[in-house]
Structure 1
């Protein structure tokens, strides 16, 4: 694509800040999205997703965060492709999320909801966030129907590539995530390396983890606010070496996710303290990291996202009605991982199955597990019987690498 005609914005709906959960069509105001786990396929080292709906409704992809508003039964094929940053910059824009190539029958989709990483403060800037739409030789900017805390919602034109964008000169903080991958030890040098990735929060963990399959994922609270083009330093008292000394937030949105920092420390280290500081030396994020509590990225014994959701449901089924009611009360009042609580109206009559869907829609698979653990568990304590092997599974997991 050499030269693109930049067309005017599509649609004339007013952009409004909405609720914390993905927005819904006014005709379905009482309906919550149904979470689904797509079939994942590897095509020439590129990941693609497939989902076939059973009918109309709102459908939330647990791996990518996309929400599809469907009018009928349909099959969706979608994947993340690489942005051409130079073309965006010519239009005074920069990427604000992954670029999705989506294929579906055009009359089957009313709206698309794209996850964004903008903070509440940034969303108050009128016209900051929009969605770009690429066709064969043109690109157009679609004015959102609505913007929520988590998603930007558009009416669907004909299908091609879509992605959220913001003004190029935007310097507002974004919702970020810090991901940790522990590499196998170097027995000769008796050292071990930890890869630290600073990324926008709307980059799917599923995409990142596939590039670090020789490592162990360390599940820690990852949320923090980060600023584009600002440099950061990471500190670890027991580290032998940290490289580089300073680095910027990576706003490239893939397809490659190299480590932002690499921390080298003695091989038998079991716990470290990690601190992220900005260029003014202010603390942005800190966490005690248990290096023994991890999940190996291998095909053997990996637990699928579907199995994790079933485990979360089984745990809630084991709770008495009173304890389950208390758990929902915590969900509606507790701000977790720098994200607002689930709305009380959604939880009021929610059954156990709906509660699992709400947690996954709001916090994704990893966040739902962390939230459920933190609500009931003290370190080393399990207040209910999860069954043989279940506790171990819920403490460490990742979506399976491929589904045929």
Structure 2
């Protein structure tokens, strides 16, 4: 599924929101040397298109597959990877387990998932890996981020061609296993990293009349597909997940209606699998409909707080992934239920809608967007979970509660 590109301004917006923010006046991008490529966002052939790969779950291992239609940049919505392709080819990739013992002698530690990528050797020009480093100071630290490259008989570290606010870009020397690493000797761990707070509601315990919320504090570049497979048959609770966290800092979670919270405090660690166990488990009375959750650091400073509607959850398919394709089709189906005047009002409200501290879609990007384009813009700007919530908010505003009810079928 490749995102449709309606016109020039829409394509530029895809580059800015889905891939990384481009601003000709912004000097925050890291350029390690004179060989850094100058990627011009006005070069349409170099702009990324979104795709949702085919996903298979075999023996607890998730496999991703995508038939690339031709040359260009292709952004995987589920993993955040971007592939710079030279031609039509089939991509096969999966996330495998790190062996930290081979990184430590080199003064490195994992900073992202380890991807095993297979494709025709001449078909992939560059690879773009999502990172979770937040501060500009950290990004400007020469040598902080690199990409570990594993072959059958050796490990090497690839220096980035460019580091953007979201991705680390490297040339493809030979397809095998790749993963982002940090130089832990540079001591950035008093700095914030981009994290995520994920909530999973376990099935109720009827004997004890209780239900649990599993709370996970994770780096933001861990794909939901990899986390969800460890939390079946739990439901993912839809809340804004973005949260800035610090490695080895102790955090607590607070919930006024909880019967019990375990543990009382826990450290945030930069772990990238293979298991994604809960950071906290909150035990609630059964049939609790709504809770307010707060996460505080060791100085008792609030770092994240949200109300969680426990009746408002997204199901997983049998392979353990959020059904992104189903959600995008439903969003489009709902927009097609709006008449032209209602769709015009929907886009008017969309240009002012803020979710999870993400700025609204710019008006000039929406002006020529049809219904398909609008779904793409929403998913690229707010991601899947945010797009659902934003659509619900606007449908309520324009008094289409019948479509709000239709949208709610995604959650139950």
Instruction: Using CA pairs under 8 Å that are at least 6 residues apart, name the structure with larger relative contact order, 1 or 2.
Output: 1
User: C-alpha distance in 1, partners of 2:404/2:363?
Assistant: 34
Aligned positions of 1:5-404 closer than 5 A = 21-22=18-19, 25-26=39-40, 29-31=43-45, 32-121=47-136, 122-168=138-184, 169-171=187-189, 172-297=191-316, 299=318, 304-317=323-336, 318=338, 320=341, 322-323=344-345, 325-327=347-349, 329-330=351-352, 334=354, 336-339=355-358, 349-374=368-393, 376-378=394-396, 383-384=399-400, 390-394=406-410, 396=411
How many residues of Structure 1 are paired with residues of Structure 2 in the alignment? 372
2:6 corresponds to: none
CA shift, 1:148, in A, is 2.0
User: C-alpha distance in 1, partners of 2:157/2:364?
Assistant: 34
User: C-alpha distance in 1, partners of 2:41/2:281?
Assistant: 50
Q: From the superposition, tell whether residues 51 and 298 of structure 1 become closer, same or farther in structure 2 (CA, over 3 Å).
A: closer
CA shift, 1:246, in A, is 1.0
Q: State the secondary structure of the residue aligned to 2:44.
A: coil
CA displacement 1:233-276 (0-9 Å, x = unmatched)? 00111111111111122421112111110011211322111110
**Root-mean-square deviation (Å):** 2.8
CA shift, 1:179, in A, is 0.7
CA shift, 1:83, in A, is 1.0
Q: State the secondary structure of the residue aligned to 2:383.
A: helix
CA shift, 1:351, in A, is 4.4
Native 8 Å contact 2:209 2:285 kept in 1: yes
CA shift, 1:390, in A, is 3.5
Native 8 Å contact 1:80 1:255 kept in 2: no
Q: State the secondary structure of the residue aligned to 1:353.
A: helix
CA shift, 1:139, in A, is 1.7
User: C-alpha distance in 2, partners of 1:123/1:20?
Assistant: 19
1:400 corresponds to: none
Q: State the secondary structure of the residue aligned to 1:254.
A: coil
Q: State the secondary structure of the residue aligned to 2:277.
A: coil
CA shift, 1:230, in A, is 0.8
With 352-361 and 384-393 compared, the bigger mean Cα shift is at: 384-393
CA displacement 1:27-46 (0-9 Å, x = unmatched)? 97235422211111123221
Calculate the TM-score normalised by the size of structure 1. Answer: 0.83
User: C-alpha distance in 1, partners of 2:182/2:365?
Assistant: 30
CA shift, 1:125, in A, is 2.8
Q: From the superposition, tell whether residues 340 and 311 of structure 1 become closer, same or farther in structure 2 (CA, over 3 Å).
A: same
2:35 corresponds to: none
2:9 corresponds to: none
Q: State the secondary structure of the residue aligned to 1:277.
A: strand
User: C-alpha distance in 1, partners of 2:56/2:349?
Assistant: 36
User: C-alpha distance in 1, partners of 2:101/2:55?
Assistant: 30
Q: State the secondary structure of the residue aligned to 1:337.
A: coil
CA displacement 1:340-359 (0-9 Å, x = unmatched)? 55577866755443443344
